[in-house]
Amino acid sequence: MTSRLSESGFGLELQDVDLADLNDQIIERVTKAFYASGGALLIRNQEHLTPENLRDFVALFGTVEKNEKYNPDFLMPDFPEILRLGNLMENGKRAALWIKSDDVLMWHSDDTFRDPQPIGSCLYCVTAPPTGAATWFAGMTHAYQALSDDLKKTITPLTALHSYDHLNEFLRLSNPHRPPLSEELLKELPPIERPLVVKHPVTGKKALYVTPIHMESVNGMTEEDARPLLNQLLVHATQPQFTFAHAWKSGDLVLWDNRCAMHAPSPFDADKHDRLMYRLTINGEQIESAAEQS
Ligand code: OGA
Ligand code: MN
């Protein structure tokens, strides 16, 4: 059984599955549900999964990353596919990637400034604080479909520069422990041009591709014209009917698709409570431009 997680139909919860038993029938159900979800699939009650079970599930959707770009202290020992997120400390040192969240939701799809971009991630809850730390999701296919024809026409030919440096400097404002990007990284990851409307390589559906915190500029537009447009599109895409917040319990898992969904973390009291999540990231078929087809 599946149930909807937002009014527009974006986001699905798939019930009565045990991901430790990946038989053909379950594989068909989870893959169908994932592509039907518009980019966010929730499955609960998976606290019994082993790291291997998690990896085998995620591998149904692409190649599982080994997280080379992260500090090895943040990876599960002998299991580099699992990146730990949260406020976990071991021997006085951070043992998980810690990104402090603000009250303002930082909507994004991951690493839009990388080529190839990771196509999605699976976030698996080990320990959740009693309140806070929900993750928000927004469906960009549903949001695109609800735009006026005029606005669709205006934005479809547009492209933007996505930049890691732009994001990093923004994150440094609230995470002073975060270093500036090294010369090496700046060279390795120069800004990349991406369309504002993309086509999903598997479903063929168009989606808005607007992550203002990664976007340095919109090509052919001044900053004064571009920011209000990007903000307008973000406000549109994050209306209640296209979004849901998932309040985590241990054993919950959400698989998201960076090609047609955004997500945003929310804060919790990290001095009082623990949060530990496992994150597995997938590489695979990249977004296409929607401009040629329209
Ligand atoms: C991520 C992310 C949100 C969260 O892992 O890319 O944005 O709530 N996580 O942990
Ligand atoms: Mn993210």
CATH code, 2-283 = 3.60.130.10
Q: Give the tens place of pLDDT for each residue, 130-154.
A: 999 999 999 999 999 999 999 999 9
**Could you tell me if 222 and 162 are in contact, meaning their C-beta atoms sit under 8 angstroms apart?**
no
Q: What global pTM score does this model have?
A: 0.96
Give yes or no for residue 275 CB within 6 A of ligand 1: no
Alpha-carbon distance of 11 to 261, in angstroms, equals: 9
Ligand 1 centre distance from Cα of residue 291 (Å): 30
**Could you tell me if 255 and 39 are in contact, meaning their C-beta atoms sit under 8 angstroms apart?**
no
Q: C-alpha dihedral over 12, 15, 21, 24, to 10 degrees?
A: -60
Show Cβ contacts of residue 107 under 8 Å, excluding neighbours closer than 6 positions.
Answer: 136, 138, 211, 212, 213, 234, 237, 238, 262, 263, 264
Model pLDDT, residue 77:
96
Q: Give the tens place of pLDDT for each residue, 267-288.
A: 999 999 999 999 999 999 999 9
Nearest C-alpha to atom 10 of ligand 1 is from which residue? Answer: 265
Give yes or no for residue 246 CB within 6 A of ligand 1: no
What whole-number percentage of the chain has pLDDT above 70? 99
Beta bridge partners of 96: none
Q: Give the tens place of pLDDT for each residue, 224-238.
A: 999 999 999 999 999
- Say whether 287 sits in a helix, a strand or coil: coil
Ligand 2 centre distance from Cα of residue 167 (Å): 12
DSSP classification of residue 29: H
Residue 144 carries which side chain, given as an amino acid letter? Y
Q: Taking Cα atoms as reference points, which of 102, 105, 107 lies closest to residue 209?
A: 107
Where does the pLDDT of residue 294 fall: very low under 50, low under 70, confident under 90, or very high at 90 and above? Answer: very low
Where does the pLDDT of residue 101 fall: very low under 50, low under 70, confident under 90, or very high at 90 and above? Answer: confident
Placement of tokens 């999540």 in the chain: 277
Model pLDDT, residue 292:
65
Show Cβ contacts of residue 192 under 8 Å, excluding neighbours closer than 6 positions.
Answer: 112, 113, 114, 115, 161, 162, 163
Pairing of strands 40-43, 12-14: parallel
